[in-house]
C-alpha cells in the first residue's frame, strides 16, 4: 500500500517558512511583498481560485490587491491596468486569472505583464529561462509537484520520469524541471501509442490530463511515485483526479490524493514566487 503524500502538510510547512521570512523582511525594510490579482468575468472556478489566492496572501502577511473586472472588459482597459501595476512599487507580482472571456487575447495579456512581476511564470521570457535552467520563477503547479516529490525523499536523478500531458502550464514545464533534476524524462499526450507500456516504465509518474480516474493500477509500475495533478468534477460535484486512487495506491510507493495533494501546493508556490519577486527588488 502506498504512503499518501500530504499536500496540505507540505504546503503548510512552506507557508510557515514564507510567513517567517516575510516578517523578517518587514522588520528590516518596512515593506511587504505585494500581489495584485485580476479576475475578469464570473467563471465560478476562477472566483474560487482567486479567493484562495487572496486568503493565502493574508495568511503569510503579504500586501494584496484584487481587481474584479466585468465580463465585457475590453483589451485596452485590461492592458492599462496591467501597465499601472507594472509601474507600482507596492506590487511585486501580477496575476491575471485564466481563462479570460473569449473576446480577450490571453497571449497579449501574458506578454503585457513585466516578466519580473510574472509570478505565474507564463511570460515567454520566464518560460525561456526555465528551458535554459536559469529561472527567476518556476511555474506554480510544476514547482509544487517537485516539492511533493522531494518530500518523499526520492532522488530523481537517473529515474525514469513519465509526464502525461504537454500543456504550457503543467506538462511541458514539469518535464523540464524533472530533466533539470537529472531524471530521464518521457512526455506523453493524446497521440502517444501504447500509453500503458510507457507509464509502466515510470519510477515517477506525473499525470496532468484532465480526465477523471484515467490512470488505473495496471498502468503503474510497482513502487512508483504517482503524482496526480488532475482536478475533475464528478457528476455528484465531488472533486477527483486523473488517477484512479483506489487501484493505484495498491501498486505505488507514494501517491497524492485529490483533493489534498497538488492543489494546496499551487497557491503556496505562487506566494513563494511573489516573495522571490519582492526580494529581487531589495
Ligand atoms: P490541458 O491543457 O487540457 O492538457 C491536457 C493534456 O493531456 C494534453 O497535453 C493532452 O494531449 C493530454 N491528454 C488528453 N487526453 C489524453 C489521453 N487519452 N492520453 C494521454 N494524454 C492525453 O490541461 P492542463 O491545463 O495541463 O491540466 C491538466 C489537469 O490538471 C486538469 O485536470 C486541470 O484541472 C489540472 N490542473 C490542476 C492544477 C492544480 O493546481 N492542481 C493546476 C493546473 C491544472 P494533447 O496535447 O495531445 O491534446
Q: How far is residue 218 CA from its own chain's centroid?
A: 28
Question: Residues 147, 258: one domain?
Answer: yes
Q: Is the CB of 212 under 6 A from ligand 1?
A: no
Ligand 1 pocket, mutate which of 229, 240, 257, 270 (most atoms under 8 A from CB): 229
Which residues 6+ apart lie within 8 Å of 150 measured at CB?
none
Residue 280 inside a domain? The answer is no
Q: Single out the residue of 236, 235, 243 nearest to residue 259, CA to CA.
A: 243
- The verdict on whether 97 is a catalytic residue reads yes
Question: Residues 252, 150: one domain?
Answer: yes
**Closest C-alpha residue for ligand 1 atom 35:** 230
Q: Which residue has the cell 503543467?
A: 170
Q: Is the CB of 229 under 6 A from ligand 1?
A: yes
Q: Which residue has the cell 504546503?
A: 11
Residue 35 inside a domain? The answer is yes
Question: Residues 250, 158: one domain?
Answer: yes
The CATH number of the domain holding residue 49 is 3.40.50.10860
Question: Residues 109, 218: one domain?
Answer: no
Cα torsion 268, 151, 179, 195: sign = negative
Q: Is the CB of 154 under 6 A from ligand 1?
A: no
Distance 175 CA to ligand 1 centre (A): 13
Question: Residues 208, 151: one domain?
Answer: yes
What is the residue range of 103's domain? 30-114
Q: Is the CB of 231 under 6 A from ligand 1?
A: yes
Question: Residues 150, 256: one domain?
Answer: yes
Distance CA 65, CA 68 (A): 10
Distance 208 CA to ligand 1 centre (A): 4
* pLDDT for 158: 98
Half-sphere exposure of 231 (CA within 13 A, CB side): 11
Distance CA 11, CA 73 (A): 35
Question: Residues 47, 93: one domain?
Answer: yes
The CATH number of the domain holding residue 240 is 3.40.50.720
Distance 94 CA to ligand 1 centre (A): 24
Closest atom of ligand 1 to 170 CA is: 26
Q: Is the CB of 190 under 6 A from ligand 1?
A: yes
Closest atom of ligand 1 to 144 CA is: 40
Phi, psi of 189 (to 5 degrees): -155, -170
> Is the confidence at residue 237, as pLDDT, over 90?
no
Question: Residues 77, 153: one domain?
Answer: no
Residue 273 inside a domain? The answer is no
Could you say which of 114, 149, 172 is where a domain stops?
Answer: 114
Active-site pick, 8, 28, 90, 120: 120
Q: Single out the residue of 252, 263, 243, 165 nearest to residue 209, CA to CA.
A: 165
Residue 256 inside a domain? The answer is yes
At residue 136 the predicted structure's pLDDT band, cuts being 50, 70 and 90, is confident
Question: Residues 59, 167: one domain?
Answer: no
> Is the confidence at residue 45, as pLDDT, over 90?
no
Residue 271 inside a domain? The answer is no
Q: Is residue 214 helix, strand or coil?
A: coil
Residue 148 inside a domain? The answer is yes
Q: Please give the tally of structural domains in the chain.
A: 2
Question: Residues 159, 108: one domain?
Answer: no
34 upstream amide cis, omega within 30 of 0? no
pLDDT, tens digit (0-9, with 9 covering 90-100), for 239-254: 999 999 999 999 999 9
pLDDT, tens digit (0-9, with 9 covering 90-100), for 143-161: 999 999 999 999 999 999 9
Could you say which of 76, 98, 114 is where a domain stops?
Answer: 114
Q: Single out the residue of 256, 230, 53, 61 nearest to residue 147, CA to CA.
A: 256
Residue 190 inside a domain? The answer is yes
Question: Residues 60, 101: one domain?
Answer: yes
Average pLDDT over the chain reads 97
Question: Residues 162, 219: one domain?
Answer: yes
- The verdict on whether 120 is a catalytic residue reads yes
pLDDT, tens digit (0-9, with 9 covering 90-100), for 81-134: 999 999 999 999 999 999 999 999 999 999 999 999 999 999 999 999 999 998
**Closest C-alpha residue for ligand 1 atom 24:** 167
Residue 124 inside a domain? The answer is no
Distance 228 CA to ligand 1 centre (A): 11
As given in the structure block, the three cell numbers for residue 154 are 526520492
Distance CA 75, CA 105 (A): 7
Cα torsion 4, 6, 10, 13: sign = negative
**Closest C-alpha residue for ligand 1 atom 1:** 167
pLDDT, tens digit (0-9, with 9 covering 90-100), for 6-20: 999 999 999 999 999
* pLDDT for 16: 98
Distances (CA, A) of 160 to 8, 157, 170, 202, 280: 27, 9, 18, 5, 35
Amino acid at each position: 500500500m502506498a504512503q499518501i503524500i500530504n499536500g496540505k502538510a507540505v504546503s503548510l510547512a512552506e507557508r510557515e517558512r514564507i510567513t517567517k521570512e516575510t516578517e523578517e523582511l518587514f522588520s528590516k525594510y518596512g515593506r511587504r511583498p505585494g500581489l495584485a490579482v485580476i479576475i475578469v468575468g464570473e467563471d465560478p472556478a476562477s472566483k474560487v481560485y482567486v479567493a484562495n489566492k487572496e486568503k493565502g496572501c493574508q495568511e503569510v502577511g503579504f500586501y494584496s490587491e484584487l481587481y474584479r473586472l466585468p465580463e465585457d472588459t475590453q483589451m485596452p482597459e485590461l492592458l492599462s491596468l496591467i501597465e499601472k501595476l507594472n509601474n507600482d512599487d507596492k506590487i511585486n507580482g501580477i496575476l491575471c486569472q485564466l481563462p479570460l472571456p473569449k473576446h480577450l487575447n490571453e497571449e497579449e495579456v501574458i506578454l503585457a505583464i513585466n516578466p519580473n512581476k510574472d509570478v505565474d511564470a507564463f511570460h515567454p521570457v520566464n518560460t525561456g529561462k526555465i528551458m535554459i535552467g536559469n529561472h527567476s520563477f518556476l511555474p506554480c503547479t510544476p514547482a509544487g509537484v517537485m516539492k511533493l516529490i522531494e518530500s518523499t525523499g526520492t532522488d530523481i536523478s537517473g529515474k525514469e520520469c513519465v509526464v502525461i500531458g504537454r500543456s504550457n502550464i503543467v506538462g511541458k514545464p514539469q518535464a523540464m524541471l524533472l530533466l533539470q533534476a537529472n531524471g530521464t524524462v518521457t512526455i506523453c499526450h493524446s497521440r502517444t501509442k501504447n500509453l500503458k507500456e510507457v507509464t509502466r516504465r515510470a519510477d515517477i509518474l506525473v499525470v496532468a490530463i484532465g480526465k477523471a480516474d484515467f490512470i488505473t493500477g495496471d498502468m503503474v509500475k510497482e513502487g512508483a511515485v504517482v503524482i496526480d495533478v488532475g482536478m475533475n468534477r464528478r457528476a455528484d460535484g465531488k472533486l477527483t483526479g486523473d488517477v484512479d486512487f483506489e487501484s493505484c495506491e495498491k501498486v505505488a510507493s507514494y501517491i497524492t490524493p485529490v483533493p489534498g495533494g497538488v492543489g494546496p501546493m499551487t497557491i503556496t508556490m505562487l506566494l513563494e514566487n511573489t516573495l522571490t519577486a519582492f526580494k529581487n527588488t531589495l
